[in-house]
Amino acid sequence: MPPVELTPGRRDEVVRSGDLEVLGRMAWSSNATLLVNAALDGVEVRAIYKPVQGERPLWDFPDGTLANRELSAWVVSEALGWGIVPPVVEREGPRGIGSMQLFIAHDPDEHYFAVRGQERLHPQYVGLAAFDLLTNNADRKGGHLLLDPAGRIWGIDNGLCFHAQRKLRTVVWDFA
């Protein structure tokens, strides 16, 4: 049987509907953040699953809303045509309803503070600074900006966006 071509639509279908296997918990996460394998019809895709029931309460954000904020950040990114946030869906997983985001392969040593001086990346950082401003991101850390092997920067961990009060907190100030 020839290999199945993994188009973005097919990949998203696997994340949205595939059978899930928890591979492990992501280190240093304050909320339940799980690496999962999604499998459908012989196609496997890695994703990050954040179940609502694994959210730690925050004094300044309503309980149980972080997964929806993750999804909303992706919707804004797509509506603007910016493609800054990896695809996110809301779905049932092994620990209940939550957000499921495409996992981006990356080198964790190539975080914002390690690569921000590379001029070729500056236009992407300008877009991320604007995105954080528009979404009122209250938690943009250096490790939330992933550089994939193709040289594209992705903004992940957007659960603390869209607060009614001004809470902008981002590491991308160099490009504000």
Q: Which pLDDT score is estimated for 5?
A: 62
- Quote the tokens at residue 2: 């020839």
Residue type, 137: N
Q: Quick: pLDDT tens for 102-155.
A: 999 999 999 999 999 999 999 999 999 999 999 999 999 999 999 999 999 999
On the question of pLDDT at 176 being above 80, the answer is no
Sign, Cα dihedral of 90, 93, 96, 100? negative
Residue type, 33: T
- Quote the tokens at residue 71: 């999804």
Arithmetic mean of pLDDT, 163-173: 89
* Percent residues over pLDDT 70 in the chain: 97
Between these two residues, 30 and 104, which has the higher pLDDT value? Answer: 104
Q: Which pLDDT score is estimated for 2?
A: 47
Q: Which residues contact 62 (CB under 8 A, 6 or more apart)?
A: none
Q: Quick: pLDDT tens for 90-103.
A: 999 999 999 999 99
Taking the model in full, what pTM does it have?
0.92
Q: Where are the alpha helices (DSSP H) in the chain?
A: 8-17, 66-79, 112-115, 122-135
